[in-house]
């Protein structure tokens, strides 16, 4: 295996992982910012008030984007498996 091929495979893995994680992270961050703004406005500083909405947002995003994420991961895996004979 050449160094260029290893770097390309590593870059593909990192970009695929980032694109798979992005919907959950973005929605959780958006909900966290909204809840933080509400906490500042109402001056209610409760720790569970930030945790529960983010957890619900992450669960919702997994339900909505889950099939797409699984399909993207399966495409990446099948691409890796298909490329194994070309390595030797």
Q: What is the pLDDT of residue 49?
A: 83
**Residue with more model confidence, 74 or 50:** 74
Q: What is the pTM of this model?
A: 0.78
Q: What is the pLDDT of residue 1?
A: 63
CA distances from 66 to 14, 44, 71, 74 (A): 19, 33, 9, 12
Give me the DSSP letters along 26-63: HHHHHHHHHHHHHHHHHT---HHHHHHHHHHHHHHHHH
Q: How confident is the model at residue 75 (pLDDT cuts 50, 70, 90)?
A: very high
Give tens-digit pLDDT for 10-56: 999 999 999 999 999 999 999 999 999 998 898 888 877 888 999 99
């Amino acid at each position: 295996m050449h160094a260029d091929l290893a770097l390309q495979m590593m870059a593909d893995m990192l970009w695929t992982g980032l694109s798979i994680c992005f919907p959950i992270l973005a929605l959780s961050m958006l909900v966290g910012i909204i809840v933080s703004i509400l906490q500042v406005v109402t001056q209610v500083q409760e720790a569970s008030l930030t945790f529960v909405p983010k957890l619900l947002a992450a669960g919702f995003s997994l339900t909505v984007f889950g099939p797409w994420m699984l399909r993207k991961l399966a495409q990446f895996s099948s691409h890796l498996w298909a490329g194994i004979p070309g390595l030797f």
